[in-house]
Structure 1
Amino acid sequence: MSATVTAKGQVTIPKPVRDFLGLAPGTRVEFQRAANGTVVLTRADEKRPARCFGTLRGHAGKGLSTDAIMALTRGDE
């Protein structure tokens, strides 16, 4: 991905990068120079973006006990 620097020194961060980092209007970013000469863009607030399945993680509830499951499989009611 690439972007063009404007006369005012501004760059639009490509949408896939904004989505990956979880950047919204007003989010502060930080530029760090790596040892190999590249520049790394990170969130300044250190908040990590949600992972694809992170919002789905959880627990469905207490569920059935082992005895209740065994009773259902045996046909006991």
Structure 2
Amino acid sequence: MKSRVSERGQITLPKAIRTKLGIRPGTIIDFDVVDGRIIGTKKEFQDPIAQWRGKGRLPKGFVDVDSYLNEVRG
């Protein structure tokens, strides 16, 4: 597959490639030059909160978040 560079230096990734790799608007692609070739790597979005979701623990004596917040907020 081929794509032509526009006057603004932009290229269009062919639809078949976008579909195969799951590239949608907003997808980040990291470009590098290796041995005279352009290598584009799709960067997977990672939710920075996801790894911590569900890991929090309430201090002893509290059964829910609302009671804890009411206590600490006075």
Normalising by structure 2, report the TM-score.
Answer: 0.53
Which residue does the alignment assign to 2:8?
8
SS across alignment from 2:40: strand
Structure 1: where are the runs of 5+ without partners?
A: 48-77
Cα RMSD for the two superposed structures? 1.9
Normalising by structure 1, report the TM-score.
Answer: 0.51
> How many residues matched?
46
Percentage of identical aligned residues: 35
Alignment of 1:30-69 (within 5 A): 30-34=30-34, 36-45=35-44
Higher relative contact order (CA 8 A, sep 6+): 1
One-letter identity of the residue aligned with 1:14: P
Q: Distance in 2 between matches of 1:3 and 1:46?
A: 26
- Name whichever structure is richer in strand by fraction: 2
